[in-house]
Amino acid sequence: MGKMQLPVQKNQIIDCTFEDLTHDGNGVAKIDGYPLFIPNGLPGEKAKVKVTKLNKGYGFGKIIELYEESQYRVLPECPIYEECGGCQLQHLSYEGQLRAKEKQVRDVIQRIGKLDNVTIHSVLGMENPWRYRNKSQVPIGEREGGLIGGFYRQRTHDIIDMKECLIQVEQNDQVLLKVKEVCGKYGVKSYDEKSHKGTLRHVMARYGKATGEIMIVLITKTDELPNRKKIIEDLVNVIPNVKSIVQNINSKRTNVIFGDQTRVLWGAETISDYIGDIQFAISARSFYQVNPEQTKVLYEKALEYAELTGEETVIDAYCGIGTISLFLAQKAKKVFGVEIVPEAIEDARQNAELNKIENVEFAVGEAEVVIPNWYKQGIEADVLVVDPPRKGCDQALLDTIIEMKPKKVVYVSCNPATLARDLRILEDGGYQTLEVQPVDMFPQTMHVEVVSQMILKV
């Protein structure tokens, strides 16, 4: 480490108090201002900690003894929680999780956004914060005795075989169980990353909560799936409500899950589900919200913040498969959606047709290129809705918003830090943030979605 003076040394044993949680659920303790990140620590807890690793700006440690427990500490419900990397917060009660997420949003809005007089509501949580995910995708491996499938052990590629995952719908657990059994029975080999041999790489299951329809996707290294007919026949017999069985072929040496080639082996190409009254057709590769129940809560809030009367032109930047666009179209005069992924736009058009919604128009491209072009053509938004990826809005898009001056901006975000940064830029450009509403879409994890309402200052 050279001559650098740090307040702690490696392997030193210290007493500390956790003040906060990191975005991956570690406790944060500060020693003379130097942060230590410690797995399994909760805010307010006091512990004896061993320092395990030091970097220039922060270090890591592990708990040796907990002196004082948080009132929100609970025993994790899942038997493999300690090993699995899927959730981060099962040792924190649900009330504690919602408080932690609200604090996370408050902190960044004040620290990064420098917004002091904004109404930040408490997080809208779920009545039952378990079994909410409608899509599961797991790597497949092998042990003596057959195929295994489950999540990777934290920071490794060792598969932990999983009987059930408590944040997945039960139907998806069943699919994984039956696919392992059936494919094992017919001698399908799992893919081996090291030797680049074998067949079955991943299994994905999708479930339409409102319709009960199930899709099974087998991701294989090889074009051929041995005993394909028998496997399909068995799966259809043992899995009720299966509507679609799909094969995706990924022959590359990569840890990206999907390959380019997808074919329907049996049944339909899509299953359907509803968010509110709007129906969505979901294919193997479609992006679709994993928690439709909370998505509805989030979008209803976005719709409320848009305050539509039926006279407005709305632009939905980053529209995806048209989820928010179609929600807004029910109350707006006209909605324009833009999205960079061509397949998503095809899905969006199909979903508009499916719901007989005619006052929407979708374009493929970068929001920061398409929207200024629309503006030049005289298409101006009264309300602009953005739901960008984690990195937030592109600077060029923010500049366009400030130039175009829509009366309202509704900002939906999956990353409170970039939201806070962008709110600050829009504030400096003439907008005022009125309300911020966090929504818990992913209980038991550190993620939180946020929707905020901005108006143009007169």
Return the closest-CA partner of residue 361 out of 400, 383, 329: 329
The band of 236, judged by pLDDT with boundaries at 50, 70 and 90, is: very high
DSSP 56-84: SS-EEEEEEEEEE--TTB---SSTTTTTB
Catalytic residue from among 78, 165, 393, 414: 414
Over 50: is that where the pLDDT of 136 sits? yes
Whole-number pLDDT of residue 255:
87
Whole-number pLDDT of residue 435:
97
- Average pLDDT over the chain, rounded to whole? 95
Mean pLDDT computed over 48-72: 96
pLDDT above 90: percentage of residues in the chain: 91
Mean pLDDT computed over 433-450: 97
Whole-number pLDDT of residue 156:
84
Whole-number pLDDT of residue 83:
86
Over 50: is that where the pLDDT of 68 sits? yes
Q: Which two tokens stand for residue 269?
A: 């190409």
CA distance 263 to 29: 51
Over 50: is that where the pLDDT of 133 sits? yes
Over 60: is that where the pLDDT of 74 sits? yes
- C-alpha angle 291-86-66 in degrees, rounded to nearest 5: 120
- Give the CA dihedral 183, 185, 187, 193, nearest 10 degrees: 50
Mean pLDDT computed over 22-41: 93
Q: Which residues contact 16 (CB under 8 A, 6 or more apart)?
A: 29, 30, 31, 36, 46, 47, 49
pLDDT above 70: percentage of residues in the chain: 99
Mean pLDDT computed over 366-380: 93
The angle that helices 367-376 and 395-404 make with each other, rounded to 10 degrees, is 20
The band of 195, judged by pLDDT with boundaries at 50, 70 and 90, is: very high
Place of tokens 């094992």: 184
C-alpha distance from residue 78 to each of 89, 130, 131, 237 (Å): 11, 11, 12, 30
> Would you tell me which CATH number, out of the four given (2.40.50.1070, 3.40.50.280, 1.25.40.10, 3.40.50.300), belongs to the domain 135-275?
2.40.50.1070
Burial class (CB within 10 angstroms; exposed 0-12, middle 13-18, buried 19+) of 45 = buried
Whole-number pLDDT of residue 311:
97
Mean pLDDT computed over 143-163: 87
Handedness of CA 236, 238, 241, 245 (dihedral sign): negative
Superfamily of domain 13-68: Nucleic acid-binding proteins (2.40.50.140)
Burial class (CB within 10 angstroms; exposed 0-12, middle 13-18, buried 19+) of 67 = exposed
159-170 burial string, b = 16+ CB within 10 Å, else e?
bbbbebbbbbbe
CA distance 221 to 406: 49
Mean pLDDT computed over 271-291: 94
Clarify whether 16 is annotated catalytic: no
Whole-number pLDDT of residue 1:
47
Whole-number pLDDT of residue 3:
52
CA distance 87 to 205: 19
* CATH T-level fold of 99-127+291-456: Rossmann fold (3.40.50)
What would the pLDDT profile of 155-186 be if each residue is shown by its tens digit? 788 899 999 999 999 999 999 999 999 999 99
Task: Decide if 99-127+291-456 and 135-275 have a common fold.
Answer: no
Burial class (CB within 10 angstroms; exposed 0-12, middle 13-18, buried 19+) of 93 = middle
CA distance 208 to 271: 7
CA atoms within 13 A on the CB side of 104: 29
Structural domain boundaries in the chain: 13-68, 99-127+291-456, 135-275
Residue 310 region by backbone torsions, left for phi larger than 0, else alpha for psi between -120 and 50, else beta: left
Over 80: is that where the pLDDT of 4 sits? no
Q: Which residues contact 424 (CB under 8 A, 6 or more apart)?
A: 112, 113, 114, 115
- C-alpha angle 27-32-35 in degrees, rounded to nearest 5: 30
